[in-house]
Amino acid sequence: MANQGGPTGLGERALGPDLARGFMLLFIALANSHYFVYGTRVFGGFPMDGSSADRVVGMVLSTFVDGRAFPMFGVLFGYGVAQIVRRQRESGKEWWPIRTLLWRRSLVLIVLGFVHAMLLYIGDILAAYGVLLFLGVWALRWKDRWLLIVAALVFVLTALPSDDSLATASDASDPSMLPPDFLGQFGDRIVVQPFIALLGWIGFVTPFLVGLWAGRRRILERPAEHLTLLRTTAVVGLTVAVVGALPVSLVVGGVIDQPSGEALTRLGPLHDASGVLGGFGYAALSVLIALKLRDRQDRITLAIAAAGQRSLTCYLSQSVVWAVVFTPYLLDLSRTFSTTTTALLAVATWLATAWIADRMRRASYRGPFEILIRRVTYQPRRTAATRSRSSGSLA
C-alpha cells in the first residue's frame, strides 16, 4: 500500500521523470566541468586557445547542453513539488501544514547547498532551489492561468538585454572556483555563495511555475494522455534552443569572431532564454522516450532511471570529482585537461554515478542524501505516527 501523505515509494515512481533526471545529470556534468579548464582567453566558460577538437566539443556543448539542463531540472523540481502537494492533500492535510512541510524541505536544501558550496563547488544550485521553494510555496494555490502568466512574464524579463549571462562571460576562474588552499577557500566562497543563492533562483522561476502547472495535470506521469502537447513541446522547444544557441556556440567553435559588447548583451540572454524552452523540450522528449521503453526496460534504462531517483546524491558526487581533479591543493589538473578531455571525464563520472545508483536500486536503497532530505521533510509526521503505534502496543 502507498505511504499516503509521505514520500513517493520507489515502486510507485513513474519512469518518465526519473529517466529525464538521470539523463540530464549527464548534461549537468558536461555543463559544469568545462568551467574548471584553464585558458588565457575564455568565452562562455570555454577556453578559446584549445585545439580544433576542443572548439568542436565546445560548440556542441554550447548548442545542446549549456543553459539547457538546469531549466529542465527546474521543471522537474516544480513538478515534484506539485506531486508532494497532491499526496498531502489526498491524505487530508490543510494548506498551512503543507507549506510548513515544504519550508522544511527548502531549509535542508539551503543548508546542504551552503555546505556543498563551501566544501566542493561554488556553483551550487541547491541553495537557490531552496530559496525558490521557500518563496514558491505561495504559488501553490494560484489558478493555472496565473502560474502561466507569471511564468511568461518572468521569461520575458529575463530575456531582456543584459551583460550578466554566463553564456557570454569572458571571466577566467577565480579563487572561489579554484581555491589555492583549503582554509582560504572559505573566505573567498563565503562572499560569493550568498549572491548565487539569493539571486540564482530568479532564472528558475519560469521552469518551476510551468512544472507546477504540469504536475497538477500529471503530464509527465501520464504521457499517453498528452501526446500532442509533449510532441509539440519537444519539437518546438529543442528547435528554438538550437537556433537560439547558434550565435554564441559559433563563437565558441571559432567559426565567427566574438561580437562587440553591445551585441553580447543581447546574445547572452537569447542563449539563456532559448535554453529555458530547450529544457521544456528535453523534458518532453525524455518522457516520450520513457513511454516507448515502458514495456521493455533494459539494464541501461533502469540504471539511468535509478540515477534520476537519486539525482541529489549523483549531483553531489559529481562535485566530489571536480574538487579532487581540479582544485589546486589536490590534483590541480585544470591546466592539464582540455575541453575535450574534461568532457570525457564528465561522461565517465556520469556513467560511474549511474552504475552506483543502479547498485543502490538493486539493494532497494534510496541514496544517502535522498534519505536525509526525506527525513527532514517528513520526520515530524513520522515521529507522531511512531509514538501512536508505540502507545497502542503498550496498551
Q: What is the pLDDT of residue 5?
A: 57
How many whole angstroms from its chain centre is CA 333?
26
pLDDT of residue 384: 44
244 by DSSP, 3-state: which?
helix
292-312: average pLDDT: 88
pLDDT band at 379 (very low <50, low <70, confident <90, very high): low
- Given the C-alpha cell 566544501, which residue does it identify? 119
Secondary structure (3-state) at 4: coil
Phi, psi of 42 (to 5 degrees): -125, 145
285 vs 266: CA distance, rounded Å: 28
Q: Which amino acid is at 312?
A: L
- Contacts with 298 (C-beta within 8 Å, 6 or more apart), sequence order: none
What percentage of the chain has pLDDT greater than the value 70? 92
Q: Which three cell numbers stand for residue 229?
A: 502537447
Does the pLDDT at position 128 exceed 50? yes
Mention every residue, 6+ apart, whose C-beta is less than 8 A from residue 301: 15, 19, 293
Q: What is the mean pLDDT of the chain?
A: 89
Please answer whether residues 167 and 67 qualify as being in contact, where contact means their C-beta atoms are separated by less than 8 angstroms: yes
| Cα distances (Å, whole numbers) of residue 126 to 270, 348, 365, 381 | 25, 23, 22, 24
Q: Which of 50, 38, 10, 63 lies closest to 357 in space, CA to CA?
A: 10
Decide: 2 and 291 in contact? Cβ < 8 Å.
Answer: no
Cell 522528449, residue located? 285
Question: Beta strand 42-43 with 46-47: parallel, antiparallel or unpaired?
Answer: antiparallel
Residue 118 has pLDDT above 70, yes or no: yes
The predicted pLDDT at position 3 comes to: 52
DSSP annotation string for 304-369: HHHHHHTHHHHHHHHHHHHHHHH-TTTT--TTT--HHHHHHHHHHHHHHHHHHHHHHHHTT---HH
What distance lies between CA 301 and its chain's CA centroid?
A: 20
* Cβ–Cβ < 8 Å for 258, 43: yes
DSSP β-bridge partners for residue 46: 43
User: Is 211:74 a contact under the CB 8 Å cutoff?
Assistant: yes
Q: What is the mean pLDDT of residues 70-84?
A: 93
Least Cα distance to 381 among 108, 159, 88 occurs for 88
Look up the pTM and report it.
0.89
Q: How far apart are CA 205 and CA 284, in angstroms?
A: 19
pLDDT above 50: residue 382: no
Q: Are 70 and 86 in contact (CB under 8 A)?
A: no
- Strands (E) in the chain, as ranges, are 42-43, 46-47
**Is a pLDDT exceeding 60 seen at residue 4?**
no
The average pLDDT across 159-183 equals 88
Neighbours of 10 (CB within 10 A): 16
Q: Where residue 260 falls among pLDDT bands split at 50, 70, 90?
A: confident
CA 377 from chain centre, in angstroms, equals 20
